[in-house]
Amino acid sequence: MRGFLSFLFLAIVIYIGEASKDPDAKYPKVAVRPGQPAPLPPLPDMKAEGEGRLEPPSSRDPIIEIEDEVKSGRSQFTGTAFSIDDRGLWVTARHVTHGCNQLMLLRPHRRALKVEAVSEHSRADVAILQTEGGYDAFPVNYEVPEYNQEGFHFGFPRGEPGDVYSNLIGRRTIKTTGIRKNKEPVLVWAEKIRVPNSNESLGGISGGPILNDNGEVVGIHVAGSVRRGRSFSSLPRTINQLLDQNDVKINSNNRNVDVAKLNEADFSRLGDELRSNLSVAQVICRTN
């Protein structure tokens, strides 16, 4: 992997040393879902805003405003990450990693996997993590997506295992205010099914992958609207931008998804498998 070691020494890299200083620390455990609940009825139908492939991002795209808040001191926050290289590279959301003094990935029945380095995108809500060891990784699809294509979201909403089935309906621009001011084009997904049943916020699934029906990453979950039943994702190209910025090449032959389960009936069973084999992991952020 060209430039892999140099990734650790870039100025934008943040070292997370505190996680290794307490070998007997009691890390929180990943909750295990006891059974397979019935999925929610489909949310109100939202039609796609076009046909065929999406047009390029435009200054005329509707704007969604989100405030970026400072993480409070001596607190713990949760998010989701997914593997993009089985040698220890992961993707998550920038707002999950920013402002953290300690970062770790939880592993069921094992010690947490400490995050050794972080690189955050300067213009998108995306970050790359590095750990000493890695797990089965997802391929990333950089092609222009199509209206109405299926999306399968996996992660840890509210800190618990959970999944979403959706369809791509359009594009927006997220305008971030507060401690970080930025504009970023994002994809808009209309949620159809949630497992487990919930009408609560999906907070905690941020940074999780959105897969197409070929098992390829087509988005990184960064925000959602419960009332409107929509999820917003950063574009896959932002992953490639971060990799190029750090002069990192990844193994592009990864494929760890049972695509036969990428359907409305079986996607949540696949989600359990992806969390179990640590392709999708829960991120814990601690602040001093």
In this predicted structure, the answer to whether residue 105 has a pLDDT above a threshold of 80 is yes
Question: Does residue 227 lie in a domain region?
Answer: yes
Cβ pair 126, 166 in contact under 8 A: no
Question: Does residue 211 lie in a domain region?
Answer: yes
Question: Does residue 160 lie in a domain region?
Answer: yes
Per-residue confidence band for 45, with pLDDT thresholds at 50, 70 and 90: low
Question: Does residue 42 lie in a domain region?
Answer: no
53-72 per-position pLDDT tens digit: 999 998 889 998 887 777 77
In this predicted structure, the answer to whether residue 192 has a pLDDT above a threshold of 60 is yes
Q: What is the mean pLDDT of residues 3-24?
A: 35
DSSP code of residue 228: T
Q: What is the mean pLDDT of residues 267-279?
A: 96
Sequence-separated (6 or more) residues with CB below 8 Å from residue 262 = 150, 152, 211, 212, 213, 214, 215, 270
> Worst-scoring range by mean pLDDT, 23-27, 149-153, 219-223, 262-266?
23-27
Q: What would the two tokens of residue 12 be? A: 């934008």
Question: Residue 181's pLDDT is what?
Answer: 80
Of the candidates 149, 102, 148, the residue with the CA atom closest to the CA atom of residue 283: 102
> Worst-scoring range by mean pLDDT, 34-38, 117-121, 167-171, 231-235?
34-38
Question: Does residue 167 lie in a domain region?
Answer: yes
Question: Does residue 147 lie in a domain region?
Answer: yes
In this predicted structure, the answer to whether residue 191 has a pLDDT above a threshold of 50 is yes
3-state helix, strand and coil shares in percent for the chain, rounded to the nearest 5? 15, 35, 50
Q: What is the mean pLDDT of the chain?
A: 83
If one counts the domains in the chain, the total is 1
Question: Does residue 35 lie in a domain region?
Answer: no
Domain of residue 140: give its range.
11-16+61-286
Question: Does residue 4 lie in a domain region?
Answer: no
Of the candidates 104, 73, 75, 92, the residue with the CA atom closest to the CA atom of residue 221: 92
CATH code of the domain in which 145 resides: 2.40.10.120
